[in-house]
Structure 1
Amino acid sequence: MDVIDRAETYLQLHGRLIDRLRFAALFRDGPRERVLDVLRCYQNTDGGFGNALEPDLRGAGSQPEPVEVAFWVLDELDAFDSPMVAAACDYLAGISAPDGGVPFVLPSVRDTPRAPWWETPDDPPGNLIPTASIAGLLHKHGSTHPWLAAATGFCWSRIAALTETSPYEARAVVTFLDLVPDRPRAEAEFARLRDALLATVSFDPDAPGDAHFPLDFAPSPLRLPMFTEDVLDAHLDALLRAQSDDGGWSGNWLMWTPVVEHEWGGYLTVHRLGTLRAYGRLPGFCQ
C-alpha cells in the first residue's frame, strides 16, 4: 500500500472520528461540513474549546490552547468563515490578561486530568503560546474581530523583548511573523531573532526525545527565509521514513496516559500528510 492507503488504515484502527473525517475531507473528497459538525461538539457554550480536543487537556472546560488546535483544523479546511471562529474570539477576549494576550493555561486546569506540563500561577499573564499562533491564523484569513488588534499589539511587544526563546515559543513566533500583514516589521524582527529561533531547532532527523524539527516550524512552505531547500528535503525524506509499520505517525513527547497516544497519533497522521502534500511529496495530491 502507498503512504495514503497505509495512513487510512491506521486511522480506521486508531483515529478519533474528527481525524478520520479530516482525512476523508482532505484526501478522499469527503464532505468538509462533517468535520465542522464534529468540531462543534468540542466547542463549549462560552465559545472556547475543551473536551480533549487537545488530547493532553482531558477536561470538558474551555482552555486557550484547544482554540489553537481548532483553528488549525479550520485552516486546513479553509473554513474561517465558520461562526465557530467569532465565538472563539469572543471567548479569548473574555479570558485575555490586561496585557492583551491569552494565558498559556487557565487555573481551572487544576480541577481536571491533564499532562504534567499544564501548570499555571493563580493569575497567569498573557503568553505567546498560544496567542501568537492564534493571531497569525486570524490574520491569514483576514479576521476583523476586535480581539485581534490587542492580541497583535501584545505579540509585537513580547517579540520585541525577546533575545532567546524556547522551542514551543519559537514555533508560535514563527507562525505569527510568517502570517502577520505588516511584512517589513515581521521581516525585521525575524532577521533579528533568526539565530535565536534556529537555536531551538533539531536539525538531526534522528534526534531523540522531544525534539523540534524544521517541519514542525514549517509544516507548509514559509514566507520567512528560515530553512534552505536541502534541509527541508532531508527532513521530508525522514518524515516519509517515520511512517510506522501500521501506517501512522506518533508524537515524540511523553504519552502520559494510553488514550493520548492514539488521539495524538490520529491528529498527527493527518497533519503529517498535509505537510507532505504541501511540499509536493504525495503524487496525485496538490496543495
Structure 2
Amino acid sequence: MSYDFAGAREFLGTHARPLERRLAELWFDGVGGAVDAVLSTLSGYRNADGGLGYALEPDVRDPGSQPVAVDFALGVVEWILDAPSTESRAAAKVTEFASGLVPYLRSVSVDGGLPIVLPSLAAHPHAAHWGDGRFPPSLNPTAGIVARLRKAGVDDPWLDEADSFCREKIETLDGKLDGHTALNVLCFLSESSSPWARQQLTAFADTVADWSLFHLYPGEGYGVTPLEVAPAPGPLRALFPSDAIEAHLAELEAEQQDDGGWPLSWAPPGPMAELEWRGWRTLQAIRTLSAR
C-alpha cells in the first residue's frame, strides 16, 4: 500500500492554515524564506504577556496565553530545526523567538513546573478533555518545553529550575503513566547525553506496555503512538518492537481520506478546530511516511 503525497499537499493547500502550508514548503520544497514565514506566522498568535494564544493549539480557543499553545509553538520550532532545508544561519532567529517565550513561562510556573492549560480556557470554546482547565504543574508539558527550549539554544536561569522539576518528577515515576506524559519525558531524556538520562531512558523502555492512552500496536480510539514518539528512524524507535512500527506505518497509510487528508480520533471544539487539526495531522503523516 502507498499513500497519495500529491493529494495530501492539495489538502493542505485547500484546508490547512498558513502555518502548516509554510511548514510543508520548508520541509518538502526547500522554499527560501520559509523559516522567516513560519516564525512570523507563530508571532501572530503572541499576546502582550509574551505568551501565545488564539487557538494556536486548536482544542483551546482562548485568545489569552496558554502553556499548551507555547508547547505547540515549540513543537513547530523543533520542526524548523529538523527540516532538511533549514540553514544554520536560521538558528539565531529560532533562538530569538524561543527566548521570547521564557518570561511568560516563568510567570505561570510553580517551582519550575508548568500546567498544561490554565483555567481561563473555561470561558471559551474548548475540547471536552480539557474540562475546567484546572491542572497541576506536571511533566506534560514541562519536560517537552524544557527540551525544546534547550534544543533551540535558549539559556535562562528559569530553565535550570524547570530542569530540576523534571528530574525530580521523573525519578519518582512508577512506570504507570499516560502516553502524553511519556512523550514529554522521552523528549526530555533524548535531548540529554548525561549518564543519568541514559539510565532513565533504559529503565523507561521497560514500562512501554503499561502506558495508558498509548497504542503500542494499532487499536481503537484515541491514543499516542510510537510514530508520534519517533516520527523518523532513530534511537527512540528502538524502544518499540519493529513489527509495531511497521503496523503503525501501514495503518497511517490506510487512514488517508478521499480528500487527501487524515482524520481525527477525538472530537475537537467545532468545524474550524477540526480543519486546523486535520491540517496538522496531515502534515505529520506525510513527514512520517516520507521518512519511514
Counterpart of 1:107 in structure 2 is 119
1:165 aligned residue (161, 177, 200)? 177
Q: Contact between 1:74 and 1:80, CA under 8 Å: does it hold in 2?
A: no
**Structure 1's 62 and 270: CA in aligned 2 closer, same or farther, altered over 3 A?**
same
**Structure 1's 235 and 254: CA in aligned 2 closer, same or farther, altered over 3 A?**
same
Q: In 2, Cα distance between the equivalents of 1:251 and 1:41?
A: 26
> RCO greater where, 1 or 2, for CA within 8 Å and sep 6 or more?
2
Identical aligned residues as a percent: 35
Q: Contact between 1:210 and 1:252, CA under 8 Å: does it hold in 2?
A: yes
Q: In 1, Cα distance between the equivalents of 2:147 and 2:69?
A: 15
Listed as ranges, the gaps of 5+ residues in structure 2 are 82-89
Counterpart of 2:140 in structure 1 is 129
Which runs of structure 2 are paired with 1:36-185 in the superposition (5 Å)? 36-78=39-81, 81=92, 82=94, 83-97=96-110, 99-119=111-131, 125-163=136-174, 164-182=176-194, 184-185=195-196
When the two structures are aligned, how many residues end up with a matched partner?
275
Secondary structure (helix, strand or coil) at the match of 1:49 reads coil
Q: In 2, Cα distance between the equivalents of 1:84 and 1:144?
A: 13
Counterpart of 1:212 in structure 2 is 224
1:203 aligned residue (212, 216, 223)? 216
Of residues 52-61 and 170-179 in structure 1, the stretch that sits farther from structure 2 once superposed is 170-179
Of residues 2-11 and 14-23 in structure 1, the stretch that sits farther from structure 2 once superposed is 2-11
Equivalent position amino acid for 2:264 in 1? G
Equivalent position amino acid for 2:56 in 1? L
How much has 1:125 moved relative to structure 2? 3.5
Secondary structure (helix, strand or coil) at the match of 2:129 reads coil
Q: Contact between 1:180 and 1:186, CA under 8 Å: does it hold in 2?
A: yes
Q: Deviations over 1:203-257 (max 9, x none)?
A: 332x111122211222233434312333323322222222212111122122342
How much has 1:167 moved relative to structure 2? 1.6
Equivalent position amino acid for 1:238 in 2? E
Counterpart of 2:25 in structure 1 is 24
Q: Contact between 2:108 and 2:114, CA under 8 Å: does it hold in 1?
A: yes
Q: In 1, Cα distance between the equivalents of 2:91 and 2:145?
A: 12
Q: Contact between 1:47 and 1:84, CA under 8 Å: does it hold in 2?
A: no
Counterpart of 2:85 in structure 1 is none
Q: In 1, Cα distance between the equivalents of 2:39 and 2:201?
A: 34
1:235 aligned residue (248, 266, 270)? 248
How much has 1:39 moved relative to structure 2? 1.2
Listed as ranges, the gaps of 5+ residues in structure 1 are 280-287
Normalising by the residue count of structure 1, what TM-score does the alignment of the two structures yield?
A: 0.88
Q: Contact between 1:9 and 1:247, CA under 8 Å: does it hold in 2?
A: yes
Of residues 35-44 and 228-237 in structure 1, the stretch that sits farther from structure 2 once superposed is 228-237
Counterpart of 1:259 in structure 2 is 272
How much has 1:65 moved relative to structure 2? 0.8
Of residues 126-135 and 136-145 in structure 1, the stretch that sits farther from structure 2 once superposed is 136-145
Counterpart of 1:285 in structure 2 is none
User: What's the RMSD between the two structures over aligned residues?
Assistant: 2.1
Q: In 1, Cα distance between the equivalents of 2:234 and 2:26?
A: 24
Equivalent position amino acid for 2:25 in 1? A
Equivalent position amino acid for 1:76 in 2? W
Q: In 2, Cα distance between the equivalents of 1:51 and 1:106?
A: 14
Q: Deviations over 1:126-177 (max 9, x none)?
A: 2111111111212333431222111111111111111011121111111111
Q: Contact between 2:189 and 2:201, CA under 8 Å: does it hold in 1?
A: yes
Equivalent position amino acid for 1:116 in 2? A
Q: In 1, Cα distance between the equivalents of 2:10 and 2:78?
A: 25
Q: In 2, Cα distance between the equivalents of 1:204 and 1:2?
A: 20
